[in-house]
Structure 1
Amino acid sequence: MTITPFAVADLAPSPWKNGGGETREIVCQPAGAGADAFGWRASIATIARDGAFSIFPDVDRVTVLLRGAGVRLRSTDGLIDHRLDAPLTPFAFAGEVEIDAELLEGACQDLNVMTRRDGWRSEVRVVRHEQNLAASDQGLLLAVDGDWRAEGVAQNFQLTSGSGLWWQGQTRCWSLQPSDNQAALLAVVIDAVDREVGLA
């Protein structure tokens, strides 16, 4: 079992090649895997100017607005035209789709979760009150507003706004307790896809 706490402010930023923003990687599994080899990945992106999203074939993506007015996402094939302007509202799309992002009003910050389609799937939940998170072998918690207590089988963690943890290994069930009714937390659950489903 691996449990790794983190603070967003302490994550090293990596500038985008096109100069349109930067990414702070939270976790990449397997560790050290490149863009064409990861199983799942979670990061915080700051979008500073209009531009195209990177293409990730065979990857499913979920993005969640954390701070700022957001962006308008439009695909070059015309099938996607989505305003990502409501904070803490997950939006899912395929990584191979060509997406252009247009800032609505200044820079914004998003949580991005990517899973390789043939091996993993993700569920991104918004938690605003006390609840138990179903057991999962891998996942991530990010406190967005307020303070949270995350109680595990043998360890408890205090999460403040802008901090969180990710885990990998033994199935884990978290009890999540907010400090007040204004608190908000993002819970990302990562599950393995059964590769034998659908095979004769």
Structure 2
Amino acid sequence: MSVICFSRATLPAMPWKNGGGTTQEIASWPQGAGLDSFGWRVSIATIAAAGPFSVFAGIDRSIMLLEGDGVRLFTHDGRVAHRLDVPHRPFAFSGDDAIDCTLLGGASNDFNVMTRHGQWRADVQVLDHAAAVEAAPHGVLLALRGAWRLNDEACAEGEGLHWADASMAWQAMPESEDARLVAVRIVPA
């Protein structure tokens, strides 16, 4: 599979079954896999109402606030208690956990990475400076702020690229002073 460029503005939004938000899928693998059969999945979600997160048994998850006031994530047994209220700070948790959330204000947008435990592992990094992104067979790069040069690809804020089944390495070069990029490398577990 080749490198695919995308823009947040053109990703279709799918409503959640519980009506509490929407999801824009950036990429999943294998291509066309459903929610019960993906190896990995990267998406952007809008959380518009308090309520439970879907349980994804056997899935390792990472969530990062993009915009908005954020949410409080918790389990009713107290094992998880986390305020997701600072943008661009990834928080990892198990999809096995029955996570509930309350809004800390209005709706929020977040970046989500899910990998099947024992098969894939995600390395999620937020970059504010030029960096080499090590080769990985799968991955996603998204410009969170400013403009970036990713090898020969130009990416403006809200744009990115993803790849699968190809060992790709990247030179990430910011092209504006306040630039920020999220780099997700997905490698075998």
TM-score range, shorter chain: over 0.9
1:16 positional shift: 0.6
Kept in 1, the 8 Å contact 2:55–2:98? The answer is yes
Instruction: Tell me how far apart the structure 2 counterparts of residues 11 and 93 of structure 1 sit (CA, whole Å).
Output: 25
Residues 96-143 of structure 1: CA distance to partner in whole angstroms, max 9, x if unpaired? 100111110100000000000021000100010011111111100000
Normalised to the residue count of structure 2, the TM-score between the two structures is 0.98
1:141 aligns to what? 141
Which of these residues, 174, 178, 191, is aligned with residue 187 of structure 2? 191
| Residue 77 of structure 1 pairs with residue 77 of structure 2 | yes
Give 4+ residue runs of structure 1 displaced > 3 Å after superposition: none
1:44 aligns to what? 44
1:34 positional shift: 1.1
Instruction: Tell me how far apart the structure 1 counterparts of residues 28 and 155 of structure 2 sit (CA, whole Å).
Output: 21
Which of these residues, 165, 171, 174, is aligned with residue 167 of structure 2? 171
Identical positions, percent: 48
Instruction: Tell me how far apart the structure 2 counterparts of residues 170 and 13 of structure 1 sit (CA, whole Å).
Output: 27
1:181 positional shift: 2.8
1:183 positional shift: 0.7
Gaps of 5+ in 2: none
Normalised to the residue count of structure 1, the TM-score between the two structures is 0.93
Instruction: Tell me how far apart the structure 2 counterparts of residues 173 and 112 of structure 1 sit (CA, whole Å).
Output: 22
SS at match of 1:2: coil
2:153 aligns to what? 157
SS at match of 1:9: helix
Instruction: Tell me how far apart the structure 1 counterparts of residues 166 and 29 of structure 2 sit (CA, whole Å).
Output: 15
Kept in 2, the 8 Å contact 1:129–1:181? The answer is no
SS at match of 1:170: coil
Larger radius of gyration: 1
1:198 aligns to what? none
State the Cα RMSD in Å.
0.8
SS at match of 2:144: strand
Gaps of 5+ in 1: 194-200
SS at match of 1:169: coil
Instruction: Tell me how far apart the structure 1 counterparts of residues 34 and 175 of structure 2 sit (CA, whole Å).
Output: 38
Instruction: Tell me how far apart the structure 2 counterparts of residues 34 and 173 of structure 1 sit (CA, whole Å).
Output: 28
1:123 aligns to what? 123
1:166 positional shift: 0.2
SS at match of 2:110: strand
Instruction: Map 1:11-22 to 2 at 5 A.
Output: 11-22=11-22
Amino acid aligned to 1:61: R
2:63 aligns to what? 63
1:84 positional shift: 0.3
2:33 aligns to what? 33
1:170 positional shift: 2.6
Kept in 2, the 8 Å contact 1:149–1:157? The answer is yes
SS at match of 2:105: coil
Instruction: Tell me how far apart the structure 2 counterparts of residues 170 and 49 of structure 1 sit (CA, whole Å).
Output: 38
Moved more, 119-128 or 168-177: 168-177
